[in-house]
Structure 1
Amino acid sequence: MNAPVPSPAALRLRDVSIILCTRERPDMLRGALAAIAAGTDPEVEVIVVDSASTDSRTREVALQAGTRYVRTDTKGLSIARNLGLDSSDRPIVVYTDDDCSPTPGWIEALLRAFEDEQITVATGRMLDHELVATDVPPTERIVYRSAVRGLDAGHGAVMAFRRDVLQTLGGFDDTLGAGRYLAGAEDLDIFCRALAAGGTAVFVPDSVVLHVNTRNPVAYRRLMRGYGLGLGALVGKWWRLSPKVGARLTATLAVRSGRRLARSAKNRGRGARDELAMVEGILRGYLRSRHLRLSGSTFVDEHPPTPIRLPAVPRPADSPS
């Protein structure tokens, strides 16, 4: 049942659900939930979405922290994010990740953005967890209105939406994101779609999460290739939805990739190999997208992953009368 949407000025902390999707990382989840508890008002609902973990540890951590726990047996970050969306009845949904530690005031900063009734998406800053306050450069609030600017609007580590708008858009594209072959860009895809539908996004620098990088060089290169696969599919999608937008997205990515490759080659670092992995991913993702059917502005998920089902959790025995 959908809750009525309060007027912008009437939005309160109790109107917010935090949705944290996770898979097979109970220790990181425990840290993220501790940071949320330390820096977030208890009126804010926290929903942990288990993306087809193969054991019960995620459930145990979520319940020990006093959060709502829901599970999907089909892995995929977008699938999990959509389950979180369907599990909330609050007007504002905020997404973060299990490798991020939100800082105090992050929710309040996002909520203030929605006092402007034109704002449908708000994003914040993701910083390396080893930075100290003096290392953080000043950043200004930025407003985005065109579909192409969705590439710059933010990232999935800290993003907030009006729930009704996100539902109207059809949620996240199930075929994009971690856990799928097209393993990235589900966040940029929804930003582009929201802006193309007439929405407005705003970057809120005062909403900050600290990110912990746990990947070695090989895993990071795999991550970059996955991002590229998703970006390539995003571009391929827009060539079909709007060739004008598709052309602008293609040009933007080509220029940026070229610049990053040139810088990496000049510095003779491993960054060049990472950039090449992303470019390879973009090309493969674009080619893959040409074989996917579209339904509205999302790809049809014709081959979802095989469900991973856990044994039913036994219910406590009835107390003797």
Structure 2
Amino acid sequence: MPTPRDLAVIVCTRNRATMLADALASIVAAIPEEVEVVVVDSASESSATREVVAASRALYVRSDIRGLSIARDVGLRTTDRPLVLFTDDDCIAVDGWIDPVLDRFADPTVGAVTGRMLDHTLIGRDAPAASLRRCTRTVEGLDAGHGAVMAFRRELVLELGGFDHVLGAGRRLAGAEDLDMFCRVLDAGHAIVHDPACVVHHVNTRDGDSYTALHLGYGLGLGALSNKLVRLRFWTGVAMLAVLLKRTVGRAIRHVRDPRRGAADRAMLRGIRQGFLAGARLRITGTTFIDEHPPEPTPVDAPVDRDTGRTR
């Protein structure tokens, strides 16, 4: 049976020091001291993130190259704990959240465990009822969980080549690095258990153009993931693409009169198409895309261009 000494909690963050401080406080309060906490600073533009981590018991490590998948791999290589639990800097952990994770990894056939991300308005209230799920088929990676609360056997992820650096926040194909890893874990013959007793609360709500852009990014990542699977496992990839399109078109029709959700669904549908075409232009090694054009390094306190608002 795994113990807290076997686990590291990894938080990847960029330019959100205030949110990170709240997340870290909740994590530290909700875990035993034996659990390691690692914060990966994904090319933040100031020292604020480092200062927040210095005030906690967490270990700080920085990547000058932005990208969520890159940061996740930095976290994997920073710890030597056999189990790693990823959560986000805009999530609040609750008491007992790691217990189901450790329990499920007692089964040697389980390669990953996921939990539930609930809205922050439910903090302090009983969570809605939900069922335990066990995923074994590659296409079930679409529904296996969420990157805000996902745990893996560390060596398994490293054996699979780590996260796909072309996918995820910080890159053009700005989503699905979590679902991509779920699919790869399942395709390698390991099960994923979704345990609703493992809960974090999400505190960052997006609206307007930011909400639409978020779903465009999700679509871009999912489209590229589908293309990769079509090339590696043809019928599995076709099945995944069919599921994605059916779901997204269905949501777009249902939400056609909803300005917020309708715009997001249409953006996601565009993203799936664009991501699929973009993925077709990328080479593959093993089960990941080759990252031929990684971002330029971002130094701390990088100068900002007054016209674009971006770091130079």
- Bin the TM-score by the shorter chain: over 0.9
Task: Return the letter of the residue paired with 1:57.
Answer: A
Q: 1:77-108 deviations in whole A, cap 9, x for unaligned?
A: 00000000001101100000000001110111
**Is it true that 1:128 corresponds to 2:119 in the alignment?**
yes
The equivalent residue for 1:319 is: none
Residue 134 of structure 1 and its aligned partner are, at CA, apart by 5.3
Task: Return the letter of the residue paired with 1:249.
Answer: M
The equivalent residue for 1:156 is: 147
Output the TM-score relative to the length of structure 2: 0.94
**Is it true that 1:43 corresponds to 2:40 in the alignment?**
no
**Is it true that 1:19 corresponds to 2:6 in the alignment?**
no
Of 163, 186, 189, the match for 2:177: 186
Task: Return the letter of the residue paired with 2:133.
Answer: I
> Which is further off, 183-192 or 134-143?
134-143
The equivalent residue for 2:297 is: 307
**Is it true that 1:279 corresponds to 2:272 in the alignment?**
no
**Is it true that 1:83 corresponds to 2:74 in the alignment?**
yes
Instruction: Say if 1:132 and 1:23 are closer, same or farther in 2 by CA, change over 3 A.
Output: closer
Residue 271 of structure 1 and its aligned partner are, at CA, apart by 1.2
Residue 218 of structure 1 and its aligned partner are, at CA, apart by 1.1
Q: 1:223-274 deviations in whole A, cap 9, x for unaligned?
A: 0000000000000001100111111001111111122112112x54421111
Of 248, 261, 273, the match for 2:239: 248
Q: 1:32-90 deviations in whole A, cap 9, x for unaligned?
A: 00000111111100000000011111011011112100000000000000000001101
The within-5 A match list for 1:33-112 is 33-112=24-103
Instruction: Say if 1:67 and 1:228 are closer, same or farther in 2 by CA, change over 3 A.
Output: same
Of 19, 35, 41, the match for 1:28: 19
Of 203, 217, 234, the match for 2:225: 234
Aligned residues: 301
Residue 309 of structure 1 and its aligned partner are, at CA, apart by 2.1
Residue 132 of structure 1 and its aligned partner are, at CA, apart by 5.1
**What is the rounded CA distance, in whole Å, between the counterparts of 1:237 and 1:114 in structure 2?**
29
**What is the rounded CA distance, in whole Å, between the counterparts of 1:168 and 1:177 in structure 2?**
20
Whichever of the two has the greater Rg, that structure is 1
Task: Return the letter of the residue paired with 1:18.
Answer: V
Which runs of structure 1 show a deviation greater than 4 angstroms over 4 or more consecutive aligned residues?
132-135
Output the TM-score relative to the length of structure 1: 0.92
**What is the rounded CA distance, in whole Å, between the counterparts of 2:123 and 2:8 in structure 1?**
28
Task: Return the letter of the residue paired with 1:124.
Answer: G
Task: Return the letter of the residue paired with 2:248.
Answer: S
The equivalent residue for 1:119 is: 110
**What is the rounded CA distance, in whole Å, between the counterparts of 1:68 and 1:134 in structure 2?**
31
Q: 1:136-194 deviations in whole A, cap 9, x for unaligned?
A: 32111100001000000001000000111111111100000000000000000000011
Structure 2, unpaired ranges of 5+: 302-312
CA RMSD of aligned residues (A): 1.2
The equivalent residue for 1:295 is: 285
Task: Return the letter of the residue paired with 2:272.
Answer: I
**What is the rounded CA distance, in whole Å, between the counterparts of 2:249 and 2:86 in structure 1?**
31
Same amino acid, percent of matched pairs:
50
